[in-house]
Amino acid sequence: MKKNIIAPSLLAAYFADLTSAITLCQKSKADWLHLDIMDGVFVPNISFGMPVIKSIKKQTDMFMDTHLMIVDPDRYTKTFADLGVHLLTVHYEACTHLHRSIQLIRENGMQAGVAINPHTPVSLLEPILSELDLVCLMSVNPGFGGQKFIINTYDKIVKLKAMIKDKNLNVRIEIDGGVTDENLEKLKQHGADTFVAGSHVFGAKNPIKTIEKLYTIANG
């Protein structure tokens, strides 16, 4: 049985002291670092970009799960690979030629993921599913942290899991947005195996204990 993954999102960390946030994650049960890259065009917000990722890479060898919420992501695929990103996720809604975008990620030596917005049906991923390592289901509207979890995500997990099983694939199902210790068990039961947590972790009084609790639920 493959291990379930906890991926704290640095979007919710204190940007003036990312070193402390990274050190915290390294000391915790966190498996991956989740990096949200926003351009203010595809989503109505701007986060951080290449110079920050370069700095993060100097401080840790943790797996970098990088989620691009940007238009025309193909322009930067090689750059992210050169920065040491392990898994690069692009948005279905942002890619005119999705298959080509996925091929480009693979050609540059990274694992490939596709994210879909809450309103996008999982059935649209059927033609590309066999090319993917991960599907990221947005359980909030992308662009800002701290939003309320969208309930119909559970149905999407079930449908996506069925598609993956039907094709006998090994594709991770990642949930991004509103993940807490109160809904993680239900998300896991529906078929998700990779969990992004931002505000719930970095807004907690004890983030390390919070990550440990999420990890225990995910792998219990």
Q: Which residues are catalytic?
A: 36, 176
What separation in angstroms does the CA of 86 have from each of 66, 135, 170, 171, 182?
A: 8, 15, 17, 15, 29
Determine which helix (DSSP H) or strand (DSSP E) holds 78, and give its type and residue range.
helix 77-82
The number of CA neighbours under 13 Å toward the Cβ of 216 is: 9
Q: Which helix (H) or strand (E) holds 79?
A: helix 77-82
Amino acid at 96: T
Evaluate whether 103 touches 114 at the Cβ level (below 8 Å).
no
* Residue 140 DSSP one-character state: S
By 3-state DSSP, what share of the chain in percent is helix, strand and coil, each rounded to 5?
45, 20, 35
